Amino acid sequence: MTHPYFVPVRESKAGTLSLQTGRMISGDRVGLAFTSEASLLMTLGPSQQWIRLAPGALRAMLAPLGVSCVRVDPRPAAELGAGGPSSQRLPGPVGAGRPAPHLVG
């Protein structure tokens, strides 16, 4: 059995979720996935929102965006000499205290 990943997302003002992607040094877009909440928050910061997705669901959602590579537990941006993302969102899963989004799988 495959365990779901912790996947960073952004939420629009209208409440629509979108997967957060990254870029390789080559410029190619890459999907981001983490094996634990702690790893995600250490890499992207304590205010990063996330959802849980099965690996197949993540790949299926990235395919229409032309993203075929998924980095699992990527190194923190600070280790590469770049500043980490800043956000004013609350930490934890999207929809905490509300029913889970239909994207979770």
Does 95 reside within a domain?
Answer: no
Q: Is the pLDDT of residue 44 over 80?
A: yes
Q: Is residue 70 part of a domain?
A: yes
Count of structural domains, the chain:
1
State pTM to two decimals. Answer: 0.71
pLDDT digits (tens, 9 = 90+) for 62-103: 999 999 999 999 985 456 554 444 333 334 455 443 333 333
Range of the structural domain that residue 12 is part of: 5-75
Q: Is the dihedral of CA 40, 44, 48, 50 positive or negative?
A: negative
Cα separation, 5 vs 37, in Å, equals 9
Residue 9 lies in a domain: yes
Contacts for 54-57 with beta carbons within 8 Å, 24 or more apart?
A: 54/2, 54/4, 54/5, 54/105, 55/2, 55/4, 55/5, 56/2, 57/103, 57/105
83 lies in some domain: no
pLDDT at 24: 87
Please indicate, yes or no, if residue 102 is contained in any of the structural domains: no
Domain assignment of residue 60, yes or no: yes
Alpha carbons 39 and 28: distance in angstroms, whole number: 23
